[in-house]
Structure 1
Amino acid sequence: MSIIKQMDERLANMIAAGEVVERPASIVKELVENSIDAKATEINIFIKENGLKEIRVVDNGIGMDNEDAKKAFLRHATSKIKTEFDLERIRTLGFRGEALAAILSVSRITLKTRQSNSEGFFVRYEDSKLIDEGTTSLNEGTEITVNDLFYNTPARLKYIKSEFSERAAIIDMFDRLALSNPTVRLSLTIDEKLVKETYGNNDYYSLMRQVYGNNVLKDLIVFEKEFQKIKIKGYLASPSVSRARKKDISLFVNGRYIMNYGLTQSIIDGYHSFLMVNRYPLAILLIEMDPVLLDVNVHPQKLEVKFANESLLKYHIELFVKESLMSRPHEIPQNLSIIKRQEYENEPVTINESFIPRKETYVKESLDFVYNDNSNKQTEEQPEIKKIPDFSYVGTFAGTYLLFQNEQGMYMIDQHAAEERVNYEYYFDVIGNPKIVIKEMFLSRNLELTNEDLNLIKNHLNDFKELGFNFNEKMQLISHPTFLLDKDLDDAISVMLQMLEEKNQIDLKILLDNLAKSKSCKASIKANDTLSRKEIDVLIEKLRKTKNPYTCPHGRPTIIHLTYYEIERMFRRVVWWKKLLLLLDQLHQEKRCIQ
């Protein structure tokens, strides 16, 4: 007797719902994407009890006729694709025909829709069955209401997270949808309170302000690049606006929000040495490419895609991000959080007439990375924006921090971090693009490694050999590449073993970067080392010529700016008109940034 039976349609849909409908935010995503595919220019989202009681999406799209309103809930029913040819050239957000059927299997749904020059029509479903239909009053477009999510699958409710988590997930999904569709007006109302709204005016500066706040627009970097008919537009927040998690790195391909570890990591690598370890940037990347070059039919949620040549795309993204960050000066951080807790608005003040808050104006000069006495020659062929303003030396604090001043305030420079940055860029230039030339060792060298390490080397002998490392039968080192000194071998082998354990491959770029960091740290001035005035001048001159003078190779700041405004406030010399001047100056700078 046969024991294999075909599932009924309702059971199959409930299983599929586990892939499509993870939480209320998943339903918001699917319904809004359907509205966008229906050419809607305005979409309003209404949530009750974090989506478990009700999710309602109202749009002004083209609507559906009566027959399509019923077919829309059939599994694999779609208007987006018809043939295999269409599957290879998907330009819509939805196409699988699974979302509505999956949502219907775990909720109660009412759909209202009206096309131009026709009357409205509604259908109501429960337990995956049509229970009511008829005419209704409605503006042109579609309104779909999802009630009582997971009412028939109580086991799924156990996996719903806290009220705060579900609300945050819905808001985060709204932000992604808004960022990927700047021409669509969106609003989100939760429990009858308007939470977020966008204007649909195709203004990314305005959109980012609404999603992330004004602080993100400060020192925002925008770039547009193209290679092999692939267009990439990036919005990169200043390194000073960093995050503890990667979630604020957003990737969009042909208007679709995606999650891709490789591309995300390439953006992080582009910010390399601009951020401290375990800090991540806020960045938005918009990619436009021929749909033939990617496969979006990878996962039911359509959050994952495959690229025809992902390695090439990652290389260019990292390059574009790094070039954009290097191409302009960044605001020197002003870290005074402890002082800023004190407010003196109601205290008596003394007016200092000489105080006028203003931004630093940077001028252009030549760029020369050769550290010698002739490095000040200026040429019109190599213009560079001055990344550190001119200032005069004042003194040294705690034997470690060099103090400077100009009309903008006081600057503190960490002498160790500053020379570490100088040395890092020098060493990386020297060993960054090495030729693999093998140096035979006169005497074989025993490495202080565990048996586990030795076995790892044996399993990857070819990888080591390609880089110029050769071993004899006793696993003693008998040759190494010439770009490594004997004293650097132990550090290099240790880094290579760590990469093999974590990634099962050796990345030469990471190896050289770690070696440059190690060499630069050991060769740099230490804290409490006394410097002469000549040594200080030479150090600052070298720091000015680095590509990134703001941070050490590990992302720690090299320089901190204490403005006159902050100093005056500490001494209670701030008056209302000074604050007004500062506010007007900030508004002027934001306006210039937007323009």
Structure 2
Amino acid sequence: MSAVNPRPVRVLPEAIANRIAAGEVVERPASVVKELLENAIDAGAEKIVVEVEKAGKAKIRVLDDGGGMDRDDARLAVQRHATSKITDEGDLFNIRTLGFRGEALPSIASVSLFRLTSRAESPVGVRLHIEGGSLVGEEEVAFPRGTEVEVRNLFYNTPARQKFLKSDAAEAAAIAETVERVALACPKLRLRYVHNGREILNLQAAEDLYDRIAAVLGSAVYPKLFPAKGRRGALALDGMIGAPDLTRPNPGQVHLFLNGRPIRDRRLVHALSSAYGTLLDPGRYPTAVLMLTMPGDRVDVNVHPAKSEVRFVDHGEVYSFIHETVREALGRSPWLGGAGTPAGWRAPAADVPERVAEAMLKFEAQHRQQHSFPIAGGYRPMPGAAHAEALPADEPSSPLPTVEAGEPPMIGFFSSLPVLAQLRNTYILVSTPRGLGIIDQHAAHERINFERLKEAHARGGVAKQMLLFPVRLDLAPRQLAVLEDAAPHLSGLGFEVEPFGGDSVQIRAVPQLLAGADAAGTLRDLLDDYAEAGGSRAGEAAVEHVLATVACHASVRANDALNYEQMTALLRRMDGISFSAACPHGRPVFIEITDVELEKRFGRIK
């Protein structure tokens, strides 16, 4: 092994140092938009326009009507660690502005073709031209008070960084989310966002936070949001939380703010989600806008150059405060009849045990007629089974397979199991040769629909159903930003979606399996997922992920009451598919409690 020749230590040239710094500050086009918006807000802007081309890779332009800069300040602003927001070390422990490090503008200018135009009190403005961090031109221009920053060909001189950018859809969604968060943080701000010439967002100054939430999240979401407010000492929380059915497959609609600054904190997201408890399905996240305020000396925002991560003096206190405030708000909300009690829930009537016993005897008689074997163990329902509900004839709220005319009888493992009861309108109880079987009706139906969708997709496309009355849907900015890119994929899944003006679209066709189900919710989830992955998922895994989302929304839900025919039809269909033991997300469909386990629990055997 050859010896390494030591090299002398040298101070890096400023251009290289700026590019290294840019790697932390400017991760993607959305980072540029975020930094420029923060500068504009700190400058006192009341109106900001953001224009983007090709997801920010070609052009980003931010224009504001803030205080502006004169020539000397403009020259200093593009130098590293030049800032007007802090003056001494003590300011770092009580930061009141969004920016303060003096890194953003020089970092952005070092990896782009950069143009800064600004005017403060002087009669004319100044315009600086910078290429790759080097000043190449300066001129006086007529310009209104305020600042305009134009960034072209981002990362043109760092090709390696360009390769790591995601698709245009993903980058556009990230920019839309950034603009959305700034809009929520500053309700009084007038904000317009245009992408590729199309207006995505145009917000006037709002009266208060709640009006701004309604404008940003849309008319379809806002009615399902409810206030969450609380105070504990110097901590205060204000905002809105969504009903338990207003969920997403990722935390993209959880908006957290600290002293007016958008932040990301997985532990605080967990505090929010855990407050919902079992009101949320596994793997789902609520919709929420939460504004946390606290003294500046109780939090450190100087953790990372991006300034989206923070460190609390007492993180446990903040976690418990958010958890308890949200939990209390959930107890007061209209969809709950009381703390932790879902609306519409009723205590069992006094005669439920007797009615259940009567129903079970009836079903046992039916089984003796339909099958060549009796119910295992001669099961007899006894009074007192308060949670084993009779099987009503009500139709479920989600479509469920029924035995079709002319369908040949299929006796396999599942269809051979006598149905005993439906437990909590969620689980199907069956008798097995070895004991008691419990089937999760949603997981079972989801697997059935998933396999049917896979077969249809393999044959060349998912069958679609045209809607007699198209469904109008308001989309969030990040969803709207990826709609055009996602359209071909949605079409292959059986959706036909077209713009309907502003932030609205029309759903004209849906996958046949979704007929009568929540097509709007499914489309929102698909667009959220597309925005998160940016269409970068590839191959069979990508297709299966999307089909699983559609299958989930097309399936019977927990708390859907099923009648006897529906349950037996579900079991019959399970025998005709592969991988019937688990749903597409990996949850079990069927568990069994053997006679031996039961006898051990009751002390009959040891």
Where structure 1 has 5 or more consecutive residues not aligned to the other structure, the ranges are 332-361, 370-383, 421-555, 562-595
Map 1:108-507 → 2, pairs under 5 A: 108-116=113-121, 118-330=123-335, 388=345, 401-402=391-392, 416-417=423-424
Q: Find the residue that maps to 1:284 and give its secondary structure.
A: strand
1:328 and 1:385 in contact (8 A); partners too: no
Give structure 1 regions of 4+ aligned residues with deviation exceeding 4 angstroms.
384-405
Shift of 1:90: 0.2
Which position in structure 2 is the counterpart of 1:9?
A: 14
What code does the residue aligned with 1:216 have? V
Map 1:576-591 → 2, pairs under 5 A: none
Q: In 2, distance between residues paired with 1:179 and 1:559?
A: 37
Q: Find the residue that maps to 1:142 and give its secondary structure.
A: strand
What code does the residue aligned with 2:12 have? M
1:328 and 1:387 in contact (8 A); partners too: no
1:111 and 1:144 in contact (8 A); partners too: yes
Offset from partner CA, 1:3-32 (integer Å, 9 cap, x none): 211101110110111111111111000000
Shift of 1:402: 4.5
What code does the residue aligned with 2:423 have? H
Shift of 1:323: 1.4
Q: In 2, distance between residues paired with 1:23 and 1:328?
A: 39
Offset from partner CA, 1:160-194 (integer Å, 9 cap, x none): 11111111111111111111111111111111111
Q: In 2, distance between residues paired with 1:159 and 1:277?
A: 32
Which position in structure 2 is the counterpart of 1:558?
A: 559
What code does the residue aligned with 1:148 have? N
Offset from partner CA, 1:251-283 (integer Å, 9 cap, x none): 100111111111110001001110111111111
Q: In 1, distance between residues paired with 2:339 and 2:46?
A: 51
Q: Find the residue that maps to 1:144 and give its secondary structure.
A: strand
Q: In 2, distance between residues paired with 1:31 and 1:299?
A: 17
- Of 68, 78, 85, the residue aligned with 1:80 is 85
Shift of 1:417: 2.7
Q: In 1, distance between residues paired with 2:68 and 2:207?
A: 24
Q: Find the residue that maps to 1:271 and give its secondary structure.
A: helix
- Report how many residues are paired: 374
Shift of 1:207: 2.7
CA 157–389 in structure 1, closer or farther in 2 if over 3 Å, else same: same
2:50 and 2:60 in contact (8 A); partners too: yes
Q: In 2, distance between residues paired with 1:368 and 1:114?
A: 56
1:230 and 1:289 in contact (8 A); partners too: yes
1:391 and 1:404 in contact (8 A); partners too: no
TM-score by length of 2: 0.57
CA 417–129 in structure 1, closer or farther in 2 if over 3 Å, else same: same
CA 560–227 in structure 1, closer or farther in 2 if over 3 Å, else same: farther
CA 114–207 in structure 1, closer or farther in 2 if over 3 Å, else same: same
1:120 and 1:138 in contact (8 A); partners too: yes
2:229 and 2:329 in contact (8 A); partners too: no
Q: In 1, distance between residues paired with 2:343 and 2:75?
A: 65
TM-score by length of 1: 0.58
Q: Find the residue that maps to 2:278 and give its secondary structure.
A: coil
Offset from partner CA, 1:432-472 (integer Å, 9 cap, x none): xxxxxxxxxxxxxxxxxxxxxxxxxxxxxxxxxxxxxxxxx
Shift of 1:129: 1.8
Where structure 2 has 5 or more consecutive residues not aligned to the other structure, the ranges are 1-5, 364-388, 398-420, 428-556, 563-606
What code does the residue aligned with 1:5 have? R
Q: In 1, distance between residues paired with 2:159 and 2:25?
A: 17
CA 40–150 in structure 1, closer or farther in 2 if over 3 Å, else same: same
What code does the residue aligned with 1:309 have? D
CA 158–219 in structure 1, closer or farther in 2 if over 3 Å, else same: closer
1:106 and 1:152 in contact (8 A); partners too: yes
Offset from partner CA, 1:529-548 (integer Å, 9 cap, x none): xxxxxxxxxxxxxxxxxxxx
Shift of 1:79: 0.5
Offset from partner CA, 1:200-257 (integer Å, 9 cap, x none): 2144344333333222222321021111111111310111111111121111001111
1:108 and 1:126 in contact (8 A); partners too: yes
Shift of 1:307: 0.5
Alignment of 1:28 with 2:40, yes or no, is no
Shift of 1:294: 0.2
Which position in structure 2 is the counterpart of 1:99?
A: 104
Offset from partner CA, 1:390-446 (integer Å, 9 cap, x none): 9999998997554789xxx9xxxx9623799xxxxxxxxxxxxxxxxxxxxxxxxxx
2:227 and 2:241 in contact (8 A); partners too: yes
Shift of 1:557: 4.3
What code does the residue aligned with 2:166 have? K
Q: In 1, distance between residues paired with 2:104 and 2:236?
A: 30
Q: Find the residue that maps to 1:78 and give its secondary structure.
A: coil
1:110 and 1:146 in contact (8 A); partners too: yes
Offset from partner CA, 1:342-400 (integer Å, 9 cap, x none): xxxxxxxxxxxxxxxxxxxx9xxxx899xxxxxxxxxxxxxx99755899999989975
2:180 and 2:216 in contact (8 A); partners too: yes
Q: Find the residue that maps to 1:267 and give its secondary structure.
A: helix
1:252 and 1:285 in contact (8 A); partners too: yes
- Of 61, 69, 74, the residue aligned with 2:74 is 69
